[in-house]
Amino acid sequence: MARWEPNARERLERAALELFTQHGYDATTVAQIADRAGLSKSTFFRHFSDKREVLFGGQDIIADRFAEAIAAAPAAATTADCLAAALGSVSVVFIPERRDLAPRRQAVIAATSELEERQLLKRAHLADAIDGALRARGTDDTTARLAAQLGVLAFSTAYTRWAASGSQRPYAALAREALHELQARAAVLGQPS
């Protein structure tokens, strides 16, 4: 039977980011990550399928939460309400205690083009989750596709600001703000700036 390892997932994440930052992503092995975290390789593989998933595993959780939040929104909710619900649902992931990991994660991704590509694909997956959940509510195809792109853009804008934030503003507030900002800009694209 597996031993109970308190916070194993987070210990592995912190260890991996330390090693990626010090030695580079390519040069770091799963064995080194487990060792640095004081855990076994088999514990690593109970939490992540490979070292890349240490960086991106959270995105699948976020896609699921987006879809669930949109499905759970009241029948009278507008598309904008659904996006706000989706973004609000992931604020539990972006808690203050984890904020210090975000800029390190971003730096590791930015340093390796394979990881940047993976990030783009994961974001396309987030868009698909929003798109599918909106269509399931009866939203037309064009609006669903558009809202999916706006939602992901609000999500990534808020994440970047949260990661960079000296002001320690909570993710939920940043996400709401980013979504409003994008909606306001969309309304005036055809107006002289």
Binding site for a copy of itself (CB under 8 A): 76, 78-81, 83, 117, 120-121, 124, 139, 142-143, 145-147, 149-150, 153, 157, 181-183, 185-187, 189-193
Least distance from a copy of itself to the Cβ atom of residue 154, Å: 10
Q: How far apart are CA 113 and CA 65, in angstroms?
A: 28
CA 55 to chain CA centroid, Å, is: 10
Task: Decide if 123 contacts 66 (C-beta within 8 A).
Answer: no
Least distance from a copy of itself to the Cβ atom of residue 56, Å: 14
- The nearer residue to a copy of itself, 95 or 121, going by C-beta atoms, is 121
Q: How long is the chain? A: 193
Least distance from a copy of itself to the Cβ atom of residue 166, Å: 18
Least distance from a copy of itself to the Cβ atom of residue 50, Å: 17
Q: Which residues contact residue 68 at a Cβ distance below 8 angstroms, ignoring those fewer than 6 apart?
A: 89
- The nearer residue to a copy of itself, 92 or 120, going by C-beta atoms, is 120
Q: How far apart are CA 10 and CA 55, in angstroms?
A: 12
The four Cα atoms 108, 114, 115, 117 give a dihedral, to 10 degrees, of 140
Least distance from a copy of itself to the Cβ atom of residue 114, Å: 11
- The nearer residue to a copy of itself, 1 or 187, going by C-beta atoms, is 187
- The nearer residue to a copy of itself, 44 or 66, going by C-beta atoms, is 66
Q: Which of 156, 90, 161 is nearest to 119 (CA)?
A: 156
- The nearer residue to a copy of itself, 22 or 183, going by C-beta atoms, is 183
Task: Decide if 155 contacts 147 (C-beta within 8 A).
Answer: no
